[in-house]
Structure 1
Amino acid sequence: MANDRAMHPRRLHDGRYQWPAAFLLFLAFSILLFGSSLAGHLTTAYIGHDEDPRIYMWFLRWWRYALDQHINPFFTDLLWAPHGFNLAWSAFVPLPAWIAIPIGRALGEAAAYNVLCIIALPLAALSAFLLCRRVTGAFWPSILGGYIFGFSPYMLAQMLGGHLNLIFAFAIPLLVLAVFRRLDGEVPAWRFTLEIAVLLIVQFLCGIELFATMTLFGGFAILIALVFFDGDSRARLVRLIGPLAAAYAIAMLVVSPYLYYLFMRGSAGAPAWPPARFTGDLLNFIIPTEVNLFGTFGLARAITGKFSGDLYEKSVYVGIPLLLLIESYRRMKWRTRAGRFLIVMLAITVVASFGPALRVAGRAVLPMPWAIFTILPVLSGALAARFAIYTSLVISVIAATWFSDAPARTSTKIIAAASVALFLVPNLVPSFWKSRLDIPAFFTDRAYANELAPREIVLPLPFPDSGKSMYWQADSDMYFRMAGGWTVTSPFEFTRMPAVRYFYGAIDLPEAADQLKAYIARFGVQAVIADPEETNFPIWQQTLAPLGITAQNEKGVWIYKIPGDSFAAYAKLPAAQVEARANALRFDAIVEAAGKYLADGHDLSKLSPLELKRLDLLPRDWLVDAAPDAYRDWQIAPASGGQVGIIVVGSYEGVRPLIERYRAIASEIDYPAPTRWTPDAHPRLDVVKPLLVTFDSAHLTAAAQKLRDSPPPERTTPFVAGVTAGL
């Protein structure tokens, strides 16, 4: 081990000004690339796309609000009112929020968010530079290593998505650096323990997902190192375990209030996304997405469009030059213990990034071992594609070592470095990284104070998952509460209500107006505020019209004030029955449409929601989206053996009536799918999951005919009377 530089690095006695120079270089690049488009728009535009950046602005404002008001920062009833939400189960970035408080006070949360984005990647690059310099003792190879990590496709994609909790990762390379210093005997055990504890606390307060995955991969690293190193090296590795355990104990003690709310005050329930939703794709290792320059070309877009997930999670790209460099490093260093250690760790991170299955162009072709980790707390919610951060960290060290040690000519190394940098160049269009922060004058002019009482419960449309209304609330200094929110996970009391999925975009909701009344009454909504610029606004208008309330068009929004005694009958309706009625009516419509499709002699193999919509067999107000990731409450498709599978989404209480109705004629019932349902099954009652009912063609056709000949009670009774009677 003494001769293996990655585990026993060179001592540096110079470089006093190297780290400031490196940071300024990385910072200048970040400002030039991301900040230049914000000139004059620091408070009216933001770095990133879509909804999450505005949501993180809410989190920044929340911490300032909570500290100013001297209230519990872990729980709020501003979201998901009146019940409230445990924010420990959200990505509410305490440490970045505290850092940004002065900027927020002076310029507002949009500016604070932008500044955090601009400094996050240079900080990560600097920490990787320090690690690489420790390993190699060389400045320019370490600069390249810092760039590979700090401006990796993972970092670029997560910043574009606005995920502050995933780009403040500078503590991770510093933790590895601290381990090297202890292995080299430069710091005593007590100081090493304190250094590690501080870095653990920092990472925990920046993002608990990275803290959890960092701990997992750190454990793997120690185990692999114990396998490859022996003698005195192994003994020194073993002696790390005690101080590391003590550091974790100190860190957990410091963050114990956070842990209390995380584990003792209720969990977030099921993970927000299924494990297979966001995973690495084999082709993504050589083909980048639009966050990199080469991913902007048409062919690359066509291929990456087939990968699972969204643009922000397609981030395992490495590039051909780096892949060739890694192979050259393997040939050069495989005989050394450190070389084998780094290559094996790289393989582990790559395999983990594939998630439960290896995908090629979006298709799962081979089961992968990560599936066993999806049952663990916190880690079950981690997205496999995000493990690319550890891949890029290992590669940064490998690349820096190769450029420092490879017996190649200087000209060859310069060409190789230029090739690596070129293939990793970010999208160079500044406007690509920027979005406008549009907000109605109703909020900027404080007109809301004339229309709403403080802490009134508001139903905003668009729903807070779009991020817009989260920023409305933050910009109003938390003036009103919202019967909704975007907190990654949502309270079961809300998610079981069919109206919530309607607000999320599942417009195919039977009796939408009645469902809206039930939602308003159940959660004490006192006003509906709708943005007329939204695509679904005409549909919302149709649903809101039966409320019988005249809308006010006020400074860019439409306001529906709900009288206090409205919809009293709806307030008493059991939530399970409200949900069950919507599920039954939706399932009835799907069965009837599919039965007519088969009776008319159409091709079973072509059966799909789009085909039923094309043939006008579904209700005309149902929107069926062709996008593969479109949110949909239901699905229908051919199954094996000439059968048909129908999926609807609901809680167990909400789908149990359907199970009882069709269990006698269905070929198979799965709940939560793909788990086979049996009469003695006891699924969780506090989650919303898919129900899959499989029919053979004859039974499906007969079920459709029975719906027409003998309509079930939910089709023949008014909403309130039917729900009250359990129909």
Structure 2
Amino acid sequence: MRADPEADVEPGVRESGVREPDVRESDVRESDVREPGVRTHRRQDAVVYLAYLALSGWVTGRLWLGLGDRMTDGGKGGNEDIRLFEWYFAYVARAVRQLENPFVTHLQNMPDGVNLMSNTGMVGLGVPLAPVTWLAGPTVTANLVVCLALFATASAWYFVLSRYLVASPLAAALGGALCGFSPGMVAHTRGHLNFIAQFLIPLIIALALRMREPGRHVRRGIWLGALVAWQVLIGEEALFLYFVASGVFVAGYALLRPREVRDLVPRFLTGLAVAAGTALVLLGYPLWLQFFGPQSYHTVPFVSGHGADLASYLATPQLALTGSQSANVDLALNAAEENTFYTIPYVVLAGVVAIWLWRSTMVRALVVTAGVLVLLSLGKTLEVAGHHTGVPLPWRVLAELPLLDSVLPARFGLVVGTILAILTALGVDAAMAGLRASEVGGSRVPRFVAGGLLLAVLLPLVPRPVPTIPVGFPVPDFVTSGQWRPYVRDGRSLVPIPFPDVKDASGLRWAAVTGVPFAVPGGYFIGPDAEGRGRFGPPPRPTFELLSAVAATGKRAEVSDADRETARADLAHWRADVVVLGRHRHVDALRQTLDALLGPSRRVSDVWLWDL
């Protein structure tokens, strides 16, 4: 795979025009080179992996200032995502311990429950990390995922690049870093753990490409199917984005090299058929739940319109060394969705590499793929630097198709970043080969100059530490000590105030840090509306809206007899046994409103309580 041979390229010559050394197998004995070469390779790998781990520690270092006391700052409106993942990890750990169904639960959104396969339950990481959650709690698990996901994704891309695409260790290490620590990946650390855990995707791509080799199709197909199934249980939207990108790449490659692809089709089909069968066996039940099970939905209409601004591809990301958290804020949906921020120098560098290595079929196919993905990422209409041009784009039609109707188009920009990283790695690899061939008398000046230029181009992409915030008010001792247990019967719920929802999920954290021992109404999830379309949270009930308004404004609500009757009906629907109010910035207004709705409260431990 390293050499992409062209019919008109002389044997022994790279496509960049640099001749590779002609070494005959008879010139050296295998025993003379294998062990030293393996040891050198392993030392190089170890150094690269340690560098990635150090970089990941640099990016996430603030999370560990107080173990379990801080979380990534998602920016305006984005801090509830981490609390959601904490709840997921806590619930999956509970499911493992008690042998419950990890894909569906009634401990959130009582009594209807939540379909975790239709959400981002991350069962594929929650299960193996269950011991961490049991021992250290879900906050530590979530922070550990943020740190290790960046490291593991960069390491996986380095492994694939160094084994299959480039000869230079420097090129592979740089490419892996640009993939694992791309601006989009670093941005998604601010709340979207399912998008930064991409360490299986490069392995899936490499294994799929190895299907063109003769033999072992069944074994490779089984491994491929197993990896695909695991990635689906971690984050299937990221896998879907790369699936679309891979389809575009294969189509482009087939148009450029039809004879080669035609000859390889039987091998690919055999291996892919085995992989598909394996994945379906492993995912049959979870996928049925996702698309046809309780609380499933068929579309997410509120995401398909969010396309990227074309100018964002040349913008500097907020979390880069040269970036600013106050700049370019209008070019992305929010701070965690900077999927397309790659800076002018980096885009120019990738363009120069593409022109230089244009003879390579793989490079041309990568450029075509990047162009298609950029077009898809722009959404339904073209927007440039905040200006809505009104020019219609293909996504206007594609967004109506199944599966695509639930995709945020701007996220295709994440895969564009991977393509830019691969092009950069290919360019550095070709440059290193050219410098080795052109150096005379051991001069290092050319390498020094080239390295300086590369550093100047990539420096704006070096990430800064991700901002963090305290996890919030401590979970009440009433909850952590188990004092709540006499008040809540089996099959009933505890109502934390403020009511858990997408704007304030602190009530979910009460359950998460205690291992999800009790059910709560509402929550942060996507479920079906009356027509089966996706919506955030359950359809709002009057009591929820009344209490949410008080929590947001701090103004006590005027309560009528009709409000009291409605509250009794809502609490009966939620199967509530007790309402609990902990520390809150508007605790007085909330307590006075609840007293008016439910009668006088009692102070128990460190909470106000209404025993129903």
1:440 to 455, 458, 476: 476
Alignment of 1:235-250 (within 5 A): 235-237=263-265, 239-250=267-278
Distance 1:433 1:115 in 2: 14
1:271–1:412: structure 2 CA closer, same or farther, 3 Å change rule?
farther
Deviation of 1:502 after TM superposition, in Å, equals: 5.3
1:522–1:37: structure 2 CA closer, same or farther, 3 Å change rule?
closer
Gaps of 5+ in 2: 22-33, 436-445, 531-536
AA aligned to 1:464 is P
Aligned to 2:42: 16
Aligned to 1:593: none
**Structure 2 residue 352 is matched with structure 1 residue 328:** yes
AA aligned to 2:284 is S
Distance 2:335 2:273 in 1: 38
For 2:128, what is the secondary structure of its paired residue? Answer: helix
AA aligned to 1:383 is L
Aligned to 1:523: 574
1:2 to 1, 5, 13: 5
Deviation of 1:28 after TM superposition, in Å, equals: 1.6
For 2:526, what is the secondary structure of its paired residue? Answer: coil
Distance 2:325 2:133 in 1: 38
AA aligned to 2:347 is L
Aligned to 2:225: 197
Aligned residues of 1:38 and 1:434 also touching (Cα < 8 A): no
Aligned residues of 2:305 and 2:379 also touching (Cα < 8 A): no
> Which one is further off, 383-392 or 521-530?
521-530
Alignment of 1:452-491 (within 5 A): 452-453=488-489, 455-465=491-501, 466-489=504-527
Alignment of 1:188-227 (within 5 A): 188-227=216-255
Distance 1:294 1:463 in 2: 40
1:274 to 302, 307, 312: 302
1:371-405: per-residue Cα shift (whole Å, max 9, x none)?
A: 33323444322212222221111111100011111
Aligned residues of 2:291 and 2:298 also touching (Cα < 8 A): no
Aligned to 2:321: 293
Distance 1:416 1:489 in 2: 50
Aligned to 1:157: 187
For 1:484, what is the secondary structure of its paired residue? Answer: coil
> Which one is further off, 133-142 or 209-218?
209-218
Distance 1:528 1:26 in 2: 47
For 2:425, what is the secondary structure of its paired residue? Answer: helix
1:40-92: per-residue Cα shift (whole Å, max 9, x none)?
A: x2222234531111211111111121122222222221111122222221211
1:352 to 371, 376, 380: 376
Report % sequence identity: 23
Aligned residues of 1:80 and 1:491 also touching (Cα < 8 A): no
State the TM-score, normalized to the length of structure 1: 0.70
Distance 2:114 2:325 in 1: 43
AA aligned to 1:528 is V
1:456–1:275: structure 2 CA closer, same or farther, 3 Å change rule?
closer
Alignment of 1:300-319 (within 5 A): 300=327, 304-319=328-343
For 2:580, what is the secondary structure of its paired residue? Answer: strand
1:316-344: per-residue Cα shift (whole Å, max 9, x none)?
A: 11112211111101221223322211111
Distance 2:339 2:548 in 1: 26
1:19–1:241: structure 2 CA closer, same or farther, 3 Å change rule?
farther
1:81-108: per-residue Cα shift (whole Å, max 9, x none)?
A: 1222222212111121112112122222
1:316–1:178: structure 2 CA closer, same or farther, 3 Å change rule?
same
1:650-696: per-residue Cα shift (whole Å, max 9, x none)?
A: xxxxxxxxxxxxxxxxxxxxxxxxxxxxxxxxxxxxxxxxxxxxxxx
Deviation of 1:38 after TM superposition, in Å, equals: 0.9
Aligned to 1:552: 602
> Which one is further off, 54-63 or 522-531?
522-531
1:444–1:523: structure 2 CA closer, same or farther, 3 Å change rule?
closer
Distance 1:341 1:502 in 2: 56
Alignment of 1:125-164 (within 5 A): 125-133=154-162, 134-161=164-191, 163-164=192-193
Deviation of 1:215 after TM superposition, in Å, equals: 2.4
Distance 2:595 2:386 in 1: 42
Distance 1:532 1:151 in 2: 38
Distance 1:419 1:503 in 2: 53
1:75–1:153: structure 2 CA closer, same or farther, 3 Å change rule?
same
Deviation of 1:548 after TM superposition, in Å, equals: 3.9
The number of aligned residues is 549
1:291–1:186: structure 2 CA closer, same or farther, 3 Å change rule?
farther
2:146 to 108, 113, 117: 117
Gaps of 5+ in 1: 563-727
Higher relative contact order (CA 8 A, sep 6+): 2
Aligned residues of 1:277 and 1:308 also touching (Cα < 8 A): no
AA aligned to 1:141 is A
Deviation of 1:287 after TM superposition, in Å, equals: 2.0
AA aligned to 1:470 is L
1:289–1:338: structure 2 CA closer, same or farther, 3 Å change rule?
closer
1:341–1:238: structure 2 CA closer, same or farther, 3 Å change rule?
farther
Aligned to 1:71: 100
1:495 to 521, 534, 539: 539
AA aligned to 1:444 is T
Distance 1:173 1:420 in 2: 25
Distance 2:592 2:331 in 1: 37
Aligned to 1:578: none
Aligned residues of 1:209 and 1:379 also touching (Cα < 8 A): no
2:396 to 368, 371, 374: 371
Deviation of 1:116 after TM superposition, in Å, equals: 1.6
> Which one is further off, 336-345 or 411-420?
411-420
State the TM-score, normalized to the length of structure 2: 0.82
1:53 to 73, 82, 91: 82
Aligned to 1:90: 119
1:522–1:26: structure 2 CA closer, same or farther, 3 Å change rule?
same
For 1:33, what is the secondary structure of its paired residue? Answer: helix
Distance 1:70 1:491 in 2: 30
Aligned residues of 1:278 and 1:313 also touching (Cα < 8 A): no
AA aligned to 2:398 is F
1:541-586: per-residue Cα shift (whole Å, max 9, x none)?
A: 4542432411234444332222xxxxxxxxxxxxxxxxxxxxxxxx
Aligned residues of 2:112 and 2:295 also touching (Cα < 8 A): no
Distance 2:590 2:567 in 1: 10
Distance 2:62 2:359 in 1: 47
For 1:340, what is the secondary structure of its paired residue? Answer: helix
